[in-house]
Amino acid sequence: MPSDPTAAVRRELLVRQLETWLPGALHRSRRATLALAYAHDDAGSADAALGVVAEYADRLRGRRLTVLVLAGEAADLPARLGPVEAGLPADVAVHLVPGDPGRLPVAVKAAGAAGAPLFSYVDLSAPGPIPPASESGGGAGGPDPAVLRAAAGGRPAELLLCAGGDARAGLGAAGFPLVTEVDLVPGGGRPASRIAFGTGSDRSLEAFKDALWAVDEFAGVRYRDPADPAGRLLDIALDPEPGPLRRELLAELTRSGPRTVTELRRYALTSTVYRSSDAVRALTGLLAAGSVTRDPVAGRLGGDVVITAAVTA
């Protein structure tokens, strides 16, 4: 498989999200499941995921963590994972499951994952352009609803999905109330790939957004917000360019009427690639430009301040 510059970003996002999920899962429950499923032979992030598990070995005493790895085409996977697996405590059970992500429902059921914390990483990415949402809901290369439902069976459940296209509706239907998506766009005209994250926790969604903007920039990879009609590209940075968010917030105010800062912060978190904290910076710019007004007109831009799109002549 040709080198994919977006693979490094996906790998780092997985590692960062596991570093958030694993301590919470071990604190919340005496058992948890981590499922890693790949539709191709590049399962390079699996060893990185086990590396995160190894870092938390001291917290696993008295807990049981099951790690499922589905990557039927990666013949070298047992040899690659062997050294990492050998250093894991007995409380961690690693199972290499033959087959592609379509076998995830059977694998998580056999592992007894239901009713306990479950984190799933499902990589369906493949070379080629991202298809429109109407073409990717469940067809070839799109997320299988049965796989999404299986990933949603944990209590709580989180899913990091590298999809072939739009997955927001599918994740919502599967039982993930909070979903965000972002396109990873490499340079040189190479095809983009899309990542979706589903969770039921505002805190987990915030953590994912923090990770999204904290990853290292790899080989010129940039982000694109699927919700942005203009498809503007965004550099990966701790303080991302607020221009696209300003336009999205202004469009939301035009559609929905006046909103509080709290509501707009949540809109940024749940409906764009940005963090909730980025909304304040974007609103400050809109106020300075006269594109919106606020009530009250002075004071701190707190959560109860009402923002209204300015009336244009």
Q: Mark whether 153 and 268 lie in a shared domain.
A: no
- The count of domains in the chain is 2
Query: For the domain that residue 175 is a member of, what is the CATH number?
Result: 3.40.50
Q: Are residues 77 and 211 in the same domain?
A: yes
CATH of the domain at 276: 1.10.10.10
- Residue 105: Cβ within 10 Å count: 17
Do 267 and 192 sit in the same domain of this protein?
A: no
Q: Specify the pLDDT at position 219.
A: 65
Q: What is the pLDDT of residues 217-253, one digit of tens each?
A: 776 899 999 988 889 999 999 999 999 999 999 999 9
Q: Which domain holds residue 271?
A: 243-309
Instruction: For 147-171, write each residue's pLDDT tens digit.
Output: 999 999 999 999 999 986 789 999 9
Are residues 48 and 192 located together in one domain of the fold?
yes
Residues 249 and 201 in one domain: no
Average pLDDT of the chain? 89
* SS3 call for 233: strand
Q: Is 198 helix (H, G, I), strand (E, B) or coil?
A: strand
Answer yes or no: are the C-beta atoms of 252 and 264 closer than 8 Å: yes
CA 198/CA 208 separation, integer angstroms = 10
> Strand 259-260 to strand 92-97: parallel, antiparallel, or no bridges (unpaired)?
unpaired
Same-domain status, 29 and 149: yes
DSSP 136: T
Q: What is the distance, to the nearest Å, from the Cα of residue 306 to the centroid of all Cα atoms in its chain?
A: 30
Q: pLDDT tens-digit profile of 15-57?
A: 999 999 999 999 999 999 999 999 877 677 999 999 999 999 8
pTM: 0.91
Of 234, 254, 269, the residue that ends a domain is 234
**Of 28-37, 39-48, 135-144, 292-301, the least confident:** 135-144
